[in-house]
Amino acid sequence: MNTMAILGTFVKFNLILTILTLCYFNAVASGYRIGVGRADCTGPPVEVVFMGYAQVSQKGHGLHLRQYSRAFIVDDNTKRVVFVSFDGAMIGYTVKRDVVTLLQKQYGKQYTLDNVVISGTHTHSTPGGFMMNLLYDLTTFGFVGETYRALIDGISNSIVNAHNNLQNGRIYIGETEVLEANINRSPSSYMFNPEEERSQYQYDTDKTLTQIRFVSEDNNVIGAINWFAVHPTSMNNTNHFVSSDNVGYAAILLEQHMNPKNLPGRGTFVGAFASANLGDVSPNIMGPKCALSGEKCDLVTSSCPAKHGQCFASGPGRDHFESTKIIATRLFEGASKILKESSGREISGNVNFVHQFVDMPAYRTTYFNPKKKKSENVRGCLPAMGYSFAAGTTDGPGAFDFTQGTTTDNPLWNAVRDFLAAPTQDDIKCQHPKPILLSTGRASFPYEWQPKVVSTQLLQIGDVILAAVPGEFTTMSGRRLRQSVRNAILQAGGDDVQVIVAGLSNMYSSYVATPEEYQAQRYEAASTIFGPHTLTIYIDQFQYLCQAMVKNETILSGPTPPFLDDKVISFQPVVLFDTTPSERKFGDVLRQPNKMYKTGDQVTVVFISGNPRNNLQHGKTYLTVEYQTANGDWKIVAVDSNWETKFVWKRTSFILGHSTTEVIWDIPDTADEGNYRIRHYGSARHIFGGFSQYEGTSDAFAVYKGGQQVALL
């Protein structure tokens, strides 16, 4: 071979090598390291008051759907971000702080307050007592350590699982419209927003379900986060079962669809339905009616005439279980449609994050007043709750004679307020037109009632921005924030982005209504604690974060929220001991099933049990429904997180420490014919200390599908 031929071959080789190298690096540049993880974070299912409706009487009596934490990690080989959605009412700052502390003991500074977002789904049917702000823990009789530890362990474990699952992959974003899944529960308040703004939108709630899906190198979908604006309040305030509600069940449906033949909480695919701008959005789409007469409620005050009952919203089902299932199914169908069609576009670009704590009452900014057509100086206020806060919402009415839309005060209630903590004239002026019912910013006994310092945070995944907000933004508040973040990114010199509002993230500071909605003083406005320009401040702050992130500027972390761990109090009784009746042992069956059932029937078995608080059975179950296979083995077909099961506990004698557990199984139409049994697992606390594990097993029973009956084997 001559010299020219050798040179030509060398040039060709290098050209091919260069092309392959460029292709390789381009492929890497457009991909990410991704990880998904899930963990059980179920709190005590009995004897603890639920967080959400603020009903002292709404204590847990059992379990319907377990709580799960679902974590998603994205890494571009330079920076890493984490998004967590967990089945809970909201997140307290100290929960996130302690989760990050646990992670740093294992991974150093890979995970910090700055690059981790933890978002609560806002279900109102899970145990409370984890907030460390008195107002939010008041109806749960203070701090509940069992709930707190369950959340920290479950959330941190989900992130660890995602970390251990890190792999090369790609990320896509898609959208679909989901109708008949939400309504605006304060439509009269929404109408206070400018007509020219409202005319830009077809609906008074957001109907778009936005999904980010995670795809592995071998083109398998390993996870998906879905954001849709709806309150998880299909289960109303009469419910006493721990439940993740509509969005939690939608996640179970999606995971079981993607993990066929797996029980809930099992399988490699992780799917979450996370909070968005849900502040004024209800799943009870039949709308509010007077409970006793069925007449429509007053639109402005959400009240009913005397003897017509309270104003309740409901639907679309016959009861709250059916309503939960229907709304969940509609959300699931929307999410699975995006997955099935692989719709949307691929996300590419850098990963980034920025976080800062903000002292809201000390914040000063400007606001363009559309009515006066000029800018004016505005400020934040000390936290305060208005009269309409006590009225509750159409999803869960309040007490006494309070009504929504109240803009005048009452001397009697003011006297009660002033006995607790009196607002100053400056507070009253700052919060106007809100009549202050609780001056929470002035109250400090026995510790802080509501936060003054809040968390603000942005996560960037390519051209998608997650705006992590520490509260419940109304529909229009969320729309304004999305638009302002997008504009701020562009003005700072960044590329165009798609913005997602990640609600109830990192800590909780109640609601955020627009300045116009604030004037109406319905529940959402009365619960907008930093005054009429709460949203104005958030928009200004997030615009600042956008500029800092685009320009890679280092910003101060801001004032740290106060340390309250040593101040919290608890009146939650502990479990003293468990015993059994004479000549009985734990796990004995008091009520056996019938010999035979058909699909659609309900099976009930009652066991002698200990208190479920003794062992929360994380990653396990309090019950199993088992099917006998052809070779005589027993196969688990349902656990306590399946929709068709319910776990009901009752203390039959407090003095003697006797308890029973009732296991209920609604036999699905899809159940195979054959023999079944039900088992119960638990722990008993000994009177002199220590625990013992026990289990109980029912007699076998047959299930048939109508017509021909199946005899026991």
Start-to-end CA distance of the chain, whole Å, equals 83
User: Which residues have a Cβ under 8 Å from the Cβ of 565 and sit 6 or more positions away?
Assistant: 94, 132
What is the distance between the alpha carbons of residues 396 and 681, in angstroms, rounded to a whole number? 34
How do beta strands 351-359 and 364-369 pair?
Answer: unpaired
Burial label for 99, CB within 10 Å (0-12, 13-18, 19+), is: buried
Exactly one of 69, 282, 303, 698 is catalytic; which is it? 282
Distances (CA, A) of 628 to 88, 266, 326, 675, 696: 36, 21, 31, 6, 17
DSSP 8-state class, residue 151: H
What is the distance between the alpha carbons of residues 71 and 96, in angstroms, rounded to a whole number? 13
CB 13 within 8 A of CB 28: no
User: Which residues have a Cβ under 8 Å from the Cβ of 622 and sit 6 or more positions away?
Assistant: 45, 63, 612, 640, 647, 661, 680, 681, 682
What is the distance between the alpha carbons of residues 485 and 166, in angstroms, rounded to a whole number? 30
Characterize 473-494 residue by residue with b for buried, 16 or more Cβ atoms within 10 angstroms of its Cβ, and e for exposed. bbbbbbbbbbebbbebbeebeb
What is the distance between the alpha carbons of residues 315 and 286, in angstroms, rounded to a whole number? 5
What is the distance between the alpha carbons of residues 175 and 338, in angstroms, rounded to a whole number? 7
Alpha-carbon Rg for the chain, nearest whole angstrom, is 27
3-class DSSP assignment, residue 712: coil
What is the distance between the alpha carbons of residues 228 and 248, in angstroms, rounded to a whole number? 12
Is 484 annotated as catalytic? no
DSSP 8-state class, residue 436: E
CB 87 within 8 A of CB 474: no
Residue type, 153: D
Q: Which two tokens stand for residue 610?
A: 């200990």
Helix axes 320-341 and 245-258, enclosed angle (nearest 10): 40
What is the distance between the alpha carbons of residues 408 and 632, in angstroms, rounded to a whole number? 71
User: Which residues have a Cβ under 8 Å from the Cβ of 100 and sit 6 or more positions away?
Assistant: 111, 112, 113, 116
Q: Provide the sign of the torsion angle of the four alpha carbons 200, 205, 206, 207, taken in this order.
A: negative
What is the distance between the alpha carbons of residues 160 and 38, in angstroms, rounded to a whole number? 9
**Planar angle of CA 267, 268, 273, nearest 5 degrees:** 90
3-class DSSP assignment, residue 96: helix
The candidate with the shortest Cα–Cα distance to 603, out of 633, 638, 634, is 638
Q: Supply the residues annotated as catalytic.
A: 282
